[in-house]
Amino acid sequence: MRLIIDGFEENCPENLTVAGLLEHLGEPDKDLVFELNHRFVYQKDYATTRLKDGDKIELIHAAFGG
């Protein structure tokens, strides 16, 4: 399956959920914001939100500082 992640095309396994994609990518940040096709996905929905070919994903990491 082809996904656009942070502007880059990635080939990923079929039938992934958001949680499965984060595991596949080895994403350690549990506080990131996941955007799917310009819509926010709540963490409680990661395990049930299925991805499909051509989805556009943004992984947004909170930046703290002053």
Sketch the domain layout of the chain as residue ranges. Answer: 2-60
Domain 2-60 has CATH 1.10.10.1100: no
Of 44, 58, 47, 61, give the one whose Cα is nearest residue 17. Answer: 47
Q: Which residues of 12-51 are buried (b: 16+ CB within 10 A; e: fewer)?
A: beeebebebbbeeeeeeeeeeebebeeeebeeeebeebeb
User: How far is residue 46's CA from residue 60's CA, in Å, rounded to a whole number?
Assistant: 15
10-residue mean pLDDT series, the chain (66 residues):
97 96 91 94 96 97 69
